[in-house]
Structure 1
Amino acid sequence: MSDTTVSKTLENGAARRVNVNKVIDEGKFNKFFFGVFILLLLALIFDGYDMGVYGVTLTSIMADMGISPTQTGLLASAGMYGMMFGALFFGMLSDVIGRKKVIIIGIFIYSIFNALVALISSYHLFVVVRFIAGMGMGAITPVVISLLSEYTPRANRTLLLTMVMIGIPLGQLFSSLAGVAFLEPLGWKALYLFTLVALVVVAFVVSHVPDSMKFYVPRGESKTIKKVLGKANPDFKQVENDIYEISQTNTQKVSITNLFKDGYAGNTIFIWITFFCNLYLFFGVSTWLPKLMTMLGYPLKSSVVFLAVFLLGGVLTTPIVGRLGDKYGYRKVMPPLYLLCAITISLLSFQLPMIVFYIVLFLAGCGVTLIQSITLATVPDFYPLAIRGTAMGWGSAVSRLGSAVAPTVVGVQLSANVPVNVVFLTFIIPAVVGCIAILMTKPNAEMIKSNPSIISKA
């Protein structure tokens, strides 16, 4: 246990002061951390399923409702705009009412309102319901990342934060597999009803996931704090009259202005640009991939399989890249991933031998998925605990703007009869801009103070 974690007990018997965040940081990965990780991963898996189900059912919805590519893109964007506002609103709300409550609220919203999609036939009502469902979907990711960044050992943080983001593409992969198995026999509406299964996760989150120490410490909930610290770091010897505290920077008032003070401004701007480009790439490709493949002459069922292969690329390679991120840092890992995105997405529009096409598709999924996972895993280190929810909420809101814009832009391009190969080539632009933006970030004084090893990884 480091000297900075616990202040020395005074000779007159005064109580020692314990920095709870550092006690958790110095813990070793154990079943407590694993349990929190798994439950938050499940929340993201169902979140990812609800995001991906629209892309899987897109072609069927167009045929059933008789809507144009532009309307289809706008319908996709409705969910994305909902996610943008949800990330922004719930990200800030999590700094006020607690991370845990927001995760529970988000699961309820995305489960119930996506299920309602199966009960409606009106295009305009579809837009409204999908927007509300999107708010729930947008609420989960920034809050999960913020909470998990607190409840992971420092030594494993980048790996675990990167791996939890497997939940999004894994959930989307499940939606693709569900499409392959059930889309034709049961119809597209059945895939939306499956989202109600996520409600089961709520009960386990309530009983097994702690809230941020930011809320326990000021309220003097010593019993809860002792219990959590005992699970997170059993090697730490607790004393009855310990006084618990969090870092001073973690007590500051919550406001968006904090993201532009104390050396955070430059990083905030560049991170927002990176977030926008990342999800423009991810949702621009994943939302329209089945439709674009059918336009290139592939049957519907094969095009859904293509989406599954694309998503599988990110799922299978995330653990490897997460370890590389912990060892070498984001600045050395991310540029090759952006280069991989630009090259492989460009190649998708070419006539390739089928085995080569699958390899390129798999690698494209690796790059597009992993750049966002690494970014999300890195961002918490840029901000103190007190404003981390707000920082992640705003960052995710900006990224959702990218995910909202991309489907509409692609839809407009197709309506204007832009060739499919040209549509794919336009994705090179956000890959280049995102790479430049992430390289412009740099550790500030507070980051270095809280994590000195970041200097060697910059």
Structure 2
Amino acid sequence: MSSTLKRKSLLGVFLICWFGLLADGYDLYVYGATLPGLIGPEPFGVTPASAGMVGSLALVGMLLGSLVVGTLTDKLGRRRIFVGALALFSVAMLACAAAPSWETFAAFRFVACFGVGGLLPTAVALTNEFALPGRKSITLGAVLTGPAVGTVVASLSSLALLESHGFRPVYAIGAAGLLLVPFAWRALPESPSFLHATGRHAEAGRVEAAYGLVPATESTVRQRPAGSPLRTLLSGGYRRPTLMLWGITLLSLLTIFGVSTWLPQIMRTAGYGVGSSVSFLLCYSLGAVVGTVLASAVSQRTGPKPLVITGFASAAAALLLMSLNPPAAVIAVLAAVAGFGGLGTQNMINDYIAQFYPAAVRATGLGWALAIGRIGAIAGPTYGAFLVSFGGGVPVAATAFAIPALIGGALMLALRPSATPASAAQPSAAAPSAETVA
């Protein structure tokens, strides 16, 4: 191929992933932003208990989506999975907006979260592979602001529309992801590592040349591991860190989904109006955006692990301070810090996992970590519903959510990755070894 061939822009790949994750974040976190308008006699007679159950049921869909896609993406390819997941959850959001009953709403919410569960690991795997070797953390961090920005947009949409027009237009906006589908299908390239792993070396070489990636050599081509990708994750030197990463992700997502689902309603029970209650979720989301950008810049120098520990500690400290019931302005600041320690920390965990596993099993590794983590996400809304029903207001809820953050930080501190197993693919610039991310 001619050396004068004009290279395609890597920015296009990252923007497609970012916009996909923005839609992902909006569709995922809009539920918490609209709960103050859903709970009550109108429109469906929703109680806190049934709201918590639907929140958890939807996250079962996300768990299944992560499991299915986390396995299939290393078999079917990143591009088809990305586009399919985006289309699925966007259509389901439109169906939620038109739902005639709470049961129908819950069913389509389940479908939407199934699609959401499949997009994140695919987008992270693509971003990590196409990012320049010396800028992986900062590039991935920038792309991972997408879900947090989506949460901000969901909060703003709810603030603007929930009181005056109800929940339906807020969910209808979530269908805007359909606008990205044809563009992503046409412009998003397939992963070279997937193409190499499936024996399509010439096609992989064309993608590498088109985007200026370091060409794979015979010693760095990622062949499909012996057995299933999941077996690779649970064998040799990968087993212990994989299990620990699953536990860390579980605790992180329990905190995130418990707080993001119930923060507006908890603040409403503390005497704040609907608009003011949702504004605390907005502060939480903004803290996640700013925190992710700053943390990814630091992570480029230090690696993601110190940022994960710092994030967990920040979330726990902010939540414990919120338990003292300070003035509203202080709570807003603490919510922003908790946002960095929640969503921002999970983004750094995703960065760590993406750099830990070789490209041949990267999407599977991230997909399974997120799938196991969804157990915590499923528990979070139900845990929050119990706290709301139990009473005690902000102090009890904030303290209860600080506990899993503290445990998650302790586990990350104790994580000592083993050496990369000799049976797996050897590390390359595209996939740092375990020691690189320690």
* TM-score strictly above 0.5: yes
Aligned length: 424
1:34 equivalent to 2:11? Answer yes
Cα distance in 2 for residues equivalent to 1:71 and 1:407 = 10
Higher Cα radius of gyration: 1
| 1:201 CA drift (Å) | 0.9
For normalisation by structure 2, the TM-score amounts to 0.90
Counterpart in the other structure of 1:297: 271
Match of 2:396 among 401, 422, 426: 422
Q: What letter matches 2:58 in structure 1?
A: G
Moved more, 402-411 or 116-125: 116-125
Cα distance in 2 for residues equivalent to 1:205 and 1:440 = 40
1:50 equivalent to 2:27? Answer yes
**Residues 39-438 of structure 1 aligned to structure 2 (within 5 Å):** 39-63=16-40, 64=42, 65-217=44-196, 221=200, 224-233=203-212, 246-248=220-222, 250-438=224-412
| 1:109 CA drift (Å) | 1.0
| 1:249 CA drift (Å) | 5.7
Q: Deviations over 1:137-174 (max 9, x none)?
A: 11111111122211111211111222222111110110
For normalisation by structure 1, the TM-score amounts to 0.87
Q: Deviations over 1:10-60 (max 9, x none)?
A: xxxxxxxxxxxxxxxxxxxx9722211111011010011001211111121
Give RMSD over aligned pairs: 2.3
Contact conserved, 1:278 with 1:434, CA < 8 A, in 2?
yes
Moved more, 443-452 or 180-189: 443-452
Contact conserved, 1:250 with 1:384, CA < 8 A, in 2?
no
Cα distance in 2 for residues equivalent to 1:414 and 1:41 = 34
Cα distance in 2 for residues equivalent to 1:419 and 1:412 = 12
| 1:179 CA drift (Å) | 0.9
Unaligned runs of 5+ in 1: 1-29
Q: Deviations over 1:328-382 (max 9, x none)?
A: 1233222222111111012224332343232222211111122101000110222
SS of equivalent to 1:264: helix
Cα distance in 1 for residues equivalent to 2:27 and 2:436 = 39
Cα distance in 1 for residues equivalent to 2:131 and 2:381 = 35
Unaligned runs of 5+ in 2: 1-6
Cα distance in 1 for residues equivalent to 2:188 and 2:427 = 28
Q: What letter matches 1:399 in structure 2?
A: G
Contact conserved, 1:274 with 1:437, CA < 8 A, in 2?
yes
Cα distance in 2 for residues equivalent to 1:378 and 1:167 = 18
Counterpart in the other structure of 1:25: none
